[in-house]
């Protein structure tokens, strides 16, 4: 798990706050991902970056804004969130997106609570 780190591990914010989640991968991978894990729902893919370019958006509300300044770092900027956005946000990375043996390595997640 230490190959992909996420900060903060826990975050409580009000609906009017602006905050950012950070993810860093130390594996030299080419792709990074944001997933949302809500209670009793499957993991939902939010964003994909491959070689620092966004390749997937998945109809995520605009109150979530990703940023990938380089291949090792990924941010998720949050603003005017809703209580239903409370969830575990997981970051992942992979070496060869699209290859049939590509696997993803996950960070520990950020537990977000929106009041």
Partner 1 sequence: SQQGEEDPQALSIQEGENATMNCSYKTSINNLQWYRQNSGRGLVHLILIRSNEREKHSGRLRVTLDTSKKSSSLLITASRAADTASYFCATDANGGGADGLTFGKGTHLIIQP
Choose among 4, 45, 21, 40: nearest CA to 111. Answer: 21
Mapped to the 3 state alphabet, what secondary structure does 30-46 carry?
CEEEEEEECCCCCCEEE
Q: Which of 90, 93, 112, 114 binds partner 1 (CB under 8 A)?
A: 90
> Is 43 one of the binding residues for partner 1 (CB under 8 A)?
yes
Question: Cβ 77 to partner 1, closest distance in Å?
Answer: 20
Q: How far is the CB of 84 from partner 1 (least distance, A)?
A: 18
Cα–Cα distance list, 88 to 37, 55, 63, 100, 113 (Å): 5, 22, 16, 27, 9
Total length of the chain = 115
Tokens 């537990």 found at: 111
In this chain, which of 24, 67, 88, 95 binds partner 1, going by CB under 8 A?
88
Count of alpha carbons within 13 Å of 8, Cβ hemisphere only? 9
Q: What mask, x for binding partner 1 by CB under 8 A, covers residues 48 to 87?
A: xxx----xx-------------------------------
- Binding interface with partner 1 (CB under 8 A): 1, 4, 6, 31, 33, 35, 40-43, 45, 48-50, 55-56, 88, 90, 92, 94, 97-98, 100-109, 111
């Amino acid at each position: 798990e230490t190959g992909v780190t996420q900060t903060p591990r826990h975050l409580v914010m009000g609906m009017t706050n602006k905050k950012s989640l950070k993810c860093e991968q130390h594996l030299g991978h080419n792709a990074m991902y944001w997933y949302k894990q809500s209670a009793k729902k499957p993991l939902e893919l939010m964003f994909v970056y491959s070689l620092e370019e966004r390749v997937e958006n998945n109809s995520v509300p605009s109150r979530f804004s990703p940023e990938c300044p380089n291949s090792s770092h990924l941010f998720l900027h949050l603003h005017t969130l809703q209580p239903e956005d409370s969830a575990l946000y997981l970051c992942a990375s992979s070496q060869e997106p699209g290859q049939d043996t590509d696997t993803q390595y996950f960070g520990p997640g950020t537990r977000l609570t929106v009041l």
